Amino acid sequence: KNAGKAVNSAQSEFGAFYVGSDMYYSSIASNVEIKLGPDGKSTDTKQEQYAKVYKSAKKGANWGKGTALNDGVNLTGTNNVHSALSADGKTLYFSRCKLEANKSMCDVYTSTMKGGKWSPASKIEGGSNSDEFSSKQPAVGEINGREAIFFASNMSGGTGGFDIYYAVKQDGAKFSTPVNVGPSVNTFADDQTPFYKANTLYFSSE
C-alpha cells in the first residue's frame, strides 16, 4: 500500500525503516528541476536541492506529514540519506554524500538525541570513513551481543565494487576496525543496502 502524499512526493523517497509508530526515510521532496554542469554540480545554486532525513508518524491507517529532522542531521549542502536507529532510539546513523566530479562520495555519521533534538552529527571513527573511498547505508545490528553497524563500502581490499562490512561500537562515535563480512555475501559486483534483524543479514547484490 502506498504510504500516501503525506510521505511521498514527485521525487524519490527511499531508505525507509519503521520503529515504534514512526517511519524514517530520505527524500529530496522538491518539484524543482536540478540542472547539472559538466562538473556534476548544479548550474543554479539558488535552486539546488539536497536529500534530507524525514520522520512520519502512523496515525490510524494513515501516515502523518513527513517532517525533516533538525540541522544536526540535515546539514545544508550535502545529501543526508539512509538512516538507521539504535535499539534504544537514542542514536541515529546515516550517510552524508557529496557529488564530486559526477561521483558520489559518502561517509557514515552518527547523532544522538539530546533535549528532544538530534545533536550535530560526527563521522564514526575507527577506519570506516576516508577521503579515499565511500561508506554508506548503515544498518544497526549485533555482533557477539554488542551493537554494531553494517554498511556498504568500496574501500580497498574488498572482493568487488561495494562490499558489506561491519564495525562494532566501542564508545560514542568510536567503532572497531571495519570487517568485511566475506565471500559468502560479497561478490565481484556491488553488494549494498544491508539490513539486519534476528541474526539475519539482508542485502541487495548485482
Residue closest to 43 by CA, chosen among 53, 51, 32, 27: 32
Residue closest to 128 by CA, chosen among 77, 90, 180, 80: 180
Q: How far is the C-alpha of 108 from the C-alpha of 95, rounded, in Å?
A: 5
Cβ contacts of 9 within 8 Å, gap of 6 or more:
27, 28, 29, 30, 31
Q: How far is the C-alpha of 196 from the C-alpha of 86, rounded, in Å?
A: 12
Residues 77-95, mean pLDDT to the nearest whole number: 93
Q: How far is the C-alpha of 140 from the C-alpha of 195, rounded, in Å?
A: 8
Q: Angle at the Cα of 13 (from 149 to 150), degrees rounded to 5?
A: 10
Residue 16 phi, psi (nearest 5): -80, 145
The residues pairing with 67 across neighbouring beta strands, listed in sequence order, are 55
Which pLDDT value is given to residue 37?
79
Residue closest to 130 by CA, chosen among 154, 163, 164: 154
Condensed to tens digits (0 to 9), the pLDDT of residues 126-176 reads 999 999 999 999 999 999 999 999 999 999 999 989 999 999 999 889 999
Condensed to tens digits (0 to 9), the pLDDT of residues 33-82 reads 767 778 777 666 555 578 999 999 998 889 999 999 999 999 988 999 99
The identity of residue 73, as a single letter, is: V
- Confidence band (pLDDT; 50, 70, 90) for 106? very high
Whether this model's pTM surpasses 0.75: yes
Q: How many percent of the chain have pLDDT more than 90? A: 75
Residues 177-196, mean pLDDT to the nearest whole number: 96
Say whether pLDDT at 29 is over 90. no
Residue closest to 194 by CA, chosen among 129, 125, 130, 148: 148
